[in-house]
Chain A
Amino acid sequence: MAPEGARQHANWSPYDNNGGTVLAVAGENYVICASDTRMSTGYSILTRNYEKVDQMSPKTLMASAGFMADAQTLKKTLKARCKQYEFQNKKPIGCVSFAQMLSNTLYYRRFFPYYAFNIVAGLDAEGKGAVFTYDAVGSYERTNYSCQGSGQALIMPVLDNQLKTVSPLVLPAVSSATPLSEAAAIELIKDCFATAAERDIYTGDRVELWIMNADGVRKEEMPLRLD
């Protein structure tokens, strides 16, 4: 029996962390969204083949790290909403609208959040790369690049070092998209994952890159450490 006055703690949590890292980089006319494919629980691996990136509409990709059950249901819910949008507006949903919709959906669950750390990547109405980064309750921001998940602390400093552009307040105005070419960005992203896989036990197996540009979407992949 707990001593009088002591609080009792729940020993069941509705959440689990399945690990994994996702990242996205926006270019002048492309966007790349990448994730590793490892899904873990505790110190075990559940699968080496779990894709965390999904295409939500012709111009929108979404990647989620964290608790996969919540991430999966979140994506399922949003996909149904995207279909509804298409019927009502007679066009597929664009990535900026999708980004707002995801934020609203997450905040709706402010007091029992989706344990999913999301990144939305796509091409905006002008064909420019767009990356939106979220916290678990829907706070979001459009940026050039972002990283979420277990490898975030290892990868983000590398991205900041390579991709951080000058402040948008500086004149003359500089484009907010990264000046890197598509091929260079792909190499950088592969390097980042290989780096994270060295030290983060939850990142590894394989990295999948989804590259979206004016020609459409294509995938590339690279094996990572299996340990």
Chain B
Amino acid sequence: MFRNQYDQDMLTWSPQGRLHQVEYAMEAVKQGSTVVACGNKKCAVLAALKRKQSKLSSMQEKIFAINTRVGVAVSGLSTDGAKLVKLLREESTREEFVYGRSACPGRLAAAASKSLQISMRKSSGRPCGVGLVLVGSSEQLGCQIFQTCPSGEVHQMSCTAIGGRSQSARTYLEKNMEALETASVDEMIMIALRALNESNVDASDLTSDKCEVAIVELNTYTLKSAAEVTTLLTNL
């Protein structure tokens, strides 16, 4: 799309003040399948569409636990995602070792951002081709949602969707932002699943093997089992 003379490596600015390699890396995030997150102070939901590499392979895992109260979903290059998840888990373990308490989501998002930004400054590597949606809770601030992208930018979101065809999900979430503020956990789950469904334009309906759902409430993170997801999907 943007083929030009300023996009050869990370160290070259374009005259318009852009780093093209980073922008190309952001495109990689859009290649991944959709991830949706929405929440309020009391609870937050992470939902992701799963896809598989071929008919014979297993579904690619999308949602990963980081510690007992934070989970993360990745969209983009799944191996880059696995590396970031490992980093977040190690950071979380380190925080627990040093401070004796679970790392809060903001701290973890900052750790991810630091790692992502480093690869932007070096010529020896490339930007991480993955976007993260981090959902967790802390005592003081309640439930939070953070989003990172290959540039290393971190934003706190009230709700978000990333990945392929995520615009439809985002539009649905924007329409329901008011409902989110007072929603209960069950209502939140339904909003997330409906948003996810907007992005599911394949012929087949949503089933429990096609999507993963995780919820965060005060100080707990739970990944829903396949059976629980099937039950939730029947109400869709």
Show the binding face of A for B, using Cβ within 8 Å.
Answer: 76-77, 80, 83-84, 87
- A84 / chain B contacts, CB cutoff of 8 Å: 89-90, 93
Complex contact B89–A87 (CB within 8 A): yes
Q: How far is A76 from B93 in the complex, measured between Cα atoms in Å?
A: 11
* Chain B interface category by residue count: under 10
Q: Hey, what's the 0/1 contact readout for B92-109 against A, CB within 8 Å counting as 1?
A: 011011000000000000
B97 near A80 with CB under 8 A, answer yes
Chain A positions within 8 Å of B97 at CB level: 76-77, 80
**In whole Å, how far is B208's beta carbon from the nearest beta carbon of chain A?**
19
CB nearest neighbor in A for B66: A87
The A/B interface has a contact count, at CB < 8 Å, of 14
Please report the C-alpha to C-alpha distance between residue A76 and residue B95 in the assembled complex, in whole angstroms.
Answer: 12
Which residues of A have CB within 8 Å of B94?
Answer: 80
Known: A83-B93, A83-B96. 12 other contacts (CB 8 A): A76-B97, A77-B97, A80-B93, A80-B94, A80-B96, A80-B97, A83-B89, A84-B89, A84-B90, A84-B93, A87-B65, A87-B89
Q: How far is the CA of A84 from the CA of B87 in the complex (A)?
A: 11
Residues of chain B whose beta carbon lies under 8 Å from any beta carbon of chain A: 65, 89-90, 93-94, 96-97
Residues of chain B contacted by A87 (CB below 8 angstroms)? 65, 89
* Chain B, residue nearest A83 (CB): B93
Chain A residues touching B, majority SS? helix
For the residues of B in contact with A, the DSSP-based class is helix
B51 to nearest A CB, angstroms?
Answer: 21
Complex Cα distance, B94 from A84, in Å, reads 11
A84 to B96: give the CA distance in the assembly, Å. 12
Whole-angstrom distance between the alpha carbons of A76 and B97 in the complex? 7
Which A residues touch B93, using CB under 8 A? Answer: 80, 83-84
Q: How far is the CB of A26 from the nearest CB of chain B, in Å?
A: 31
Cα(A73)–Cα(B93), bound, Å: 14
B138 to chain A, nearest CB (A): 19
Chain A residues whose CB sits within 8 angstroms of the CB of B89 once the complex forms: 83-84, 87
| 14 interchain pairs, CB-CB under 8 A | A76-B97, A77-B97, A80-B93, A80-B94, A80-B96, A80-B97, A83-B89, A83-B93, A83-B96, A84-B89, A84-B90, A84-B93, A87-B65, A87-B89
Provide the residues of chain B in CB contact with A76, threshold 8 Å. 97
Bound together, the chains give a CA A77 to CA B93 distance in angstroms of 10
Nearest CB of chain B from residue A87's CB, rounded to whole Å: 5
- A112 smallest CB distance to B (angstroms): 20
Q: How far is it, in angstroms, between the C-alpha of A16 and the C-alpha of B89 when the chains are bound?
A: 35
In Å, the complex CA distance between A84 and B90 comes to 8
A206 CB to closest chain B CB (Å) equals 25
Closest residue of A by beta carbon distance from B67:
A83
The distance from the CB of B9 to the nearest CB of chain A, in whole angstroms, is 34
Assembled-state Cα–Cα distance A80/B102 (Å): 12
CA distance A56 to B2 in the complex (A): 54
B87 nearest CB across to chain A (Å): 12
Which B residue's beta carbon lies closest to that of A76?
B97
**In the bound complex, what is the Cα–Cα distance between A134 and B90 (angstroms)?**
29
Closest to A73 in B: B97
Give the CA-CA distance A76 to B100 in the complex, in Å.
10
Closest beta carbon of chain A to B65's beta carbon, Å: 8
In the bound assembly, the distance between CA atoms of A84 and B88 in angstroms comes to 12
- A76, A77, A87 interface centre (most CB from chain B within 10 Å): A87
Closest B-chain residue to A82, C-beta based?
Answer: B93
Residue of A nearest to B96 (CB): A80
CB distance from A17 to the nearest CB of B (A): 26
Task: Point out the residues of chain A lying under 8 angstroms from B96, CB to CB.
Answer: 80, 83
Instruction: Note all chain B residues with C-beta closer than 8 A to A80.
Output: 93-94, 96-97
Bound: A73/B90 CA distance, A? 18
Alpha-carbon gap, A76 to B98, bound state (A)? 10
Residues of B within 8 A of A77 (CB): 97
Please, how many angstroms separate the alpha-carbon atoms of A80 and B65 in the complex?
15
